[in-house]
């Protein structure tokens, strides 16, 4: 029986350690220990010159055989340990695709959209139809057709953003009055037109360079200020409650004659006067009036046969009134703490 050679002894030791290894890191340690540059096999091969020539070939073969055996055992055990590890992960971290997911957060309509839809619903119940117009408008529809010729001082009130001298972002929804008359042609006309408007105003608590209005237009025979006031009273009480009162104050708009400012009684103090209404008891929501004969003419309607009333209210204003919101900028800051309240 031949005694085991040096390489053979290390091979057996290494294979036993590989057999017992529990983790891939153990294998790496074993590899460095036996096969590394400072390991026993390497130093044996390096010391070959010290031994008798007749034994060199046998030792070299034994050392190479031991090296290959250790490498094979390391690879086999490595593959085994990796399989075990992956099988373990597959079990403990398995994704159960039948497991119900976390509930999705439900969004809801923006408070301005809610208020706009409420206004639409109330007026539709009175027979008004929703009519939309472009936000990029011509100078003629935005001003001239509404009786505001070039150079008219009232243009200052509706300073807007111009693309060209003739094309601008509409400063109010009133131009849709003209478009509606031109499209419908034959009265009776009962329309409301909600939408975005733009003005050259710096943002502050009560105004923004972009905002929304809802315009109303009625063209029929023998309409009166009383019809207009009754319609608007109905709208306000439907939105805010029957205890609300409305009033009109004389004012001026080039496209109406007579013209009025339209106020709603303060919901906090019921008209007595408080901080919220600046002690007036009333809050202004917009303008209104009897459509100017020239405006009817510009829309292609004969003012000798027909007359009309119109109004233009700010939707943000109406939402602020409804929910006692003090700063218009809140509507556009997309802060969920604000939006989720409505």
Binding site for ligand DAH (CB under 6 A): 172, 174, 215, 253, 256, 286-289, 310-312
- Least separation, in Å, of the C-beta of 165 and ligand DAH? 21
Minimum distance from residue 154 beta carbon to ligand DAH (Å): 10
- Please give the Cα distance from 259 to 248 (Å, whole number): 9
Whole-angstrom CA distances from 116 to 122, 213, 232 are 10, 9, 15
Question: How far is CA 257 from its chain centroid?
Answer: 42
DSSP class per residue in 213-274: EEEEEEEESS--HHHHHHHHHHHHHHHH-TT--EEEEEEEETTEEEEEEEEEE-TTTTTS--
Taking a C-beta distance cutoff of 8 angstroms, is the pair 166, 206 a contact? no
17 or 215, CB closer to ligand DAH? 215
Give the closest residue to 276 by CA, choosing from 317, 240, 326: 326
Task: Give the nearest distance from C-beta 162 to ligand DAH in angstroms.
Answer: 17
Compare residues 271 and 287 and give the one whose CB is closer to ligand DAH: 287
For the record, the structure tokens of 207 come out as 């105004």
Contacts of 57 (CB under 8 A, 6+ apart): none
Q: Indicate the residue among 271 and 289 with the shorter CB distance to ligand DAH.
A: 289
Report how far residue 301's alpha carbon sits from residue 276's, in angstroms, rounded to the nearest whole number.
Answer: 42
CB 256 to ligand DAH: min, Å = 4
> Between 10 and 211, whose beta carbon lies closer to ligand DAH?
211
**Residue 175 beta carbon to ligand DAH: minimum distance, rounded to whole angstroms:** 9
Categorise residue 195: left if φ over 0, alpha if ψ from -120 to 50, beta otherwise.
left
State in angstroms the smallest separation of the CB of 127 from ligand DAH: 18
Cis peptide bond N-terminal to 258, omega within 30: yes
Decide whether 10 or 306 has the Cβ nearer to ligand DAH. 306
Q: Whole-number minimum distance, CB 286 to ligand DAH, in Å?
A: 6
Closer by beta carbon to ligand DAH, 34 or else 311:
311
Q: Which is nearer to ligand DAH, 122 or 310 (CB)?
A: 310
């Amino acid at each position: 029986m031949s005694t085991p050679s040096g390489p053979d002894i290390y091979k057996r030791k290494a294979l036993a350690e590989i057999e017992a290894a529990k983790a891939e890191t153990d294998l790496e340690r074993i590899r460095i220990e036996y096969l590394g540059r400072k390991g026993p096999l390497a130093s044996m091969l390096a010391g070959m010159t010290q031994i008798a020539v007749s034994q060199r070939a046998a030792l070299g073969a034994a050392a190479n055989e031991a090296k290959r055996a250790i490498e094979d055992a390391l690879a086999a055990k490595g593959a085994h340990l990796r399989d075990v590890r992956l099988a373990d992960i597959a079990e403990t971290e398995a994704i159960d695709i039948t497991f119900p997911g976390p509930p999705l957060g439900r969004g809801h309509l923006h408070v301005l959209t809610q208020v706009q839809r409420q206004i639409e619903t109330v007026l539709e119940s009175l027979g008004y139809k929703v009519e939309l117009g472009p936000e990029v408008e011509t100078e003629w529809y935005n001003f001239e057709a509404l009786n505001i010729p070039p150079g008219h001082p009232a243009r200052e009130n509706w300073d807007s953003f111009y693309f060209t001298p003739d094309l601008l972002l509409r400063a109010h929804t009133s131009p849709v009055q003209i478009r509606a008359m031109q499209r419908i042609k034959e009265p009776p006309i009962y329309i409301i037109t909600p939408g975005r408007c733009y003005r050259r105003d710096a943002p502050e608590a009560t105004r923004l360079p972009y905002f929304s209005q809802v315009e109303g237009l009625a063209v029929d025979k023998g309409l009166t200020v009383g019809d207009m006031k009754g319609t608007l009273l109905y709208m306000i009480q439907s939105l805010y409650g029957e205890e609300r009162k409305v009033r009109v104050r004389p004012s001026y708009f080039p496209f109406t004659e007579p013209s009025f400012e339209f106020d709603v009684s303060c919901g906090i103090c019921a008209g007595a006067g408080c901080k919220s209404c600046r002690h007036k008891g009333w809050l202004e929501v917009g303008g209104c009036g009897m459509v100017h004969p020239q405006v009817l003419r510009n829309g292609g309607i004969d003012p000798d046969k027909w007359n009309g009333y119109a109004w233009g209210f700010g939707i943000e204003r109406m939402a602020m009134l409804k929910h006692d919101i003090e700063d218009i900028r809140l509507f556009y800051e997309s802060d969920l703490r604000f939006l989720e309240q409505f």
